[in-house]
Amino acid sequence: MNALLQNQLMTELIRPQDIAAIVRKKGMKACLDGVANYILKDYLRWDEFDKSKRIAKYVEDGVMELMPIADKTHYAFKYVNCHPHNPAKGLSTVIAFGALVDVATGMPMAISELTLTTAFRTAATSALAAKYLARKNSRTMALIGNGSQAEFQALAFHYLLGIEEIHLYDKDPKASEKLAGNLAHTGMTFVIASDVASAVKGVDIITTVTAEYAKAHIITPDMIEPGMHINAVGGDSPGKTELHPEILSMGTVFVEFEEQTRIEGELQNVAEDFPVVHLWEVFGKTKPGRSDNNQVTLFDSVGFALEDYSAMLFMRDAAKELGLVQSISLVPELADPKDLFSYLGVVPAIPVLMDRISAEIR
Ligand code: NAD
């Protein structure tokens, strides 16, 4: 077998420790910037993707989902869950991994951790949307829900938008203290609030990133002030939302992929024909984003496969650039591509067979 083919048969492996090494070498800002740029570039070629909503298996305590997407070169998918009771069992609420496949041959080119990468892509998408939708001079944000995703959200808004002051609220005060401690080195100001209403009062942007299987009303209409941008991240599954439905009628709702958001996002609580604008149209400037400083804008984030594909590619490219990629054997290496059986090594060697045949002839 020639070396080129042998190489093609190997699959690149990107592990959580590789993501940590990429971040330590490149820095958090460069990684969030990089992921956001890859996502934007892919949103700008929206029509080139074969898109579908995710395939979900709902169980009593959570959901498991497959998220496929393809263009002419790559087929990619992510597996992701959401099990809000996991932290009590010592596990993260959201766990993910995925693969990148060569469309021309179907060969798995890379397998990647996507738990950390999901946090990067969700935060980068939120900040990217806010760049187009929030008021230009936004400096303050309320961050409701201070679990695993929250630091990534805070940093994306700091580095990509210039948010300097964040009001934190979590029903678990230890989560807010953890966040303020983890990001103390950034120089941002963190104010831990005693309730949601005081956290959101007077801010430019509200981010909700809570995990609870309920149609919760964490943000109510009385909390919304003219010009606010709402980045609703935690409501991403049927029966799991964060906003009072009347909030959607207070402004314009922006979505990633309408077909999916209508089932999973805040949109599930309003009429089926409730008007929405796609992010790709705003990014491509075919539809307006914010019209004036008093408009309320709402990004109904649920997470779309395109963002996972873009983020996985960024991390894979960064791992390659930094010499971090390891290859694993996932596909059997065959001398004859039609002879899969021989790979098992259970067929007797040829000389033994010949001896047996000639013995039978005699
Ligand atoms: P997590 O369990 O680590 O953190 C969630 C936090 O929310 C916890 O600290 C919890 O105490 C807090 N919380 C729950 N209910 C609350 C309430 N009523 N008020 C205030 N705080 C509350 O989970 P995570 O990994 O940070 O994910 C958060 C949510 O984001 C999940 O629902 C997940 O499904 C969703 N998510 C969405 C996307 C997307 O693309 N839209 C991507 C990743 C995760």
pLDDT digits (tens, 9 = 90+) for 267-323: 999 999 999 999 999 999 999 999 999 999 999 999 999 999 999 999 999 999 999
**Residue 267 is encoded by which pair of tokens?**
């949109």
- Residue whose structure tokens are 């390659």: 320
For the chain, what is the total number of helices (H) and then of strands (E)? 11, 18
Domain at 134-303, CATH homologous superfamily:
NAD(P)-binding Rossmann-like Domain (3.40.50.720)
Active-site choice (33, 236, 300, 308): 236
**Pocket of ligand 1, candidates 171, 210, 264: which has the most ligand atoms within 8 Å of its Cβ, to mutate?**
210
pLDDT of residue 1: 61
Encode pLDDT of 1-22 as tens digits.
677 677 778 999 999 999 999 9
**E strand or H helix at 207, and its extent?**
strand 205-208
Please give the angle made by the CA atoms of 259, 214 and 199, to the nearest 5 degrees.
Answer: 100
First to last CA, the chain: 38
**Pocket of ligand 1, candidates 65, 92, 233: which has the most ligand atoms within 8 Å of its Cβ, to mutate?**
233
User: Ligand 1: does its nearest atom lie under 6 Å from the Cβ of 303?
Assistant: yes
Domain at 3-116+308-329, CATH homologous superfamily:
ornithine cyclodeaminase, domain 1 (3.30.1780.10)
pLDDT score of 72 more than 80: yes
**Residue 87 is encoded by which pair of tokens?**
């932290």
The two beta strands, 229-232 and 297-300, are parallel
pLDDT score of 332 more than 80: yes
pLDDT of residue 9: 87
User: Ligand 1: does its nearest atom lie under 6 Å from the Cβ of 145?
Assistant: yes
**Helix-, strand-, coil-residue percentages of the chain, each rounded to 5:** 40, 25, 35
Confidence band of 350 (pLDDT split at 50, 70, 90): low
Encode pLDDT of 19-53 as tens digits.
999 999 999 999 999 999 999 999 999 999 999 99
SS3 182: helix
**E strand or H helix at 339, and its extent?**
none
Distance 93 CA to ligand 1 centre (A): 8
DSSP string, 21-74: HHHHHH-HHHHHHHHHHHHHHHHTTGGGSEE-PPEEEEETTEEEEEEEEE-SSE
Residues paired with residue 254 on neighbouring β-strands, in sequence order: 277, 299
**Residue 213 is encoded by which pair of tokens?**
């299987």
The domain spans of the chain are 3-116+308-329, 134-303
User: Ligand 1: does its nearest atom lie under 6 Å from the Cβ of 82?
Assistant: yes
Asked if 77 and 66 count as a contact pair (C-beta separation under 8 A), the reply is yes
**Residue 4 is encoded by which pair of tokens?**
């080129």
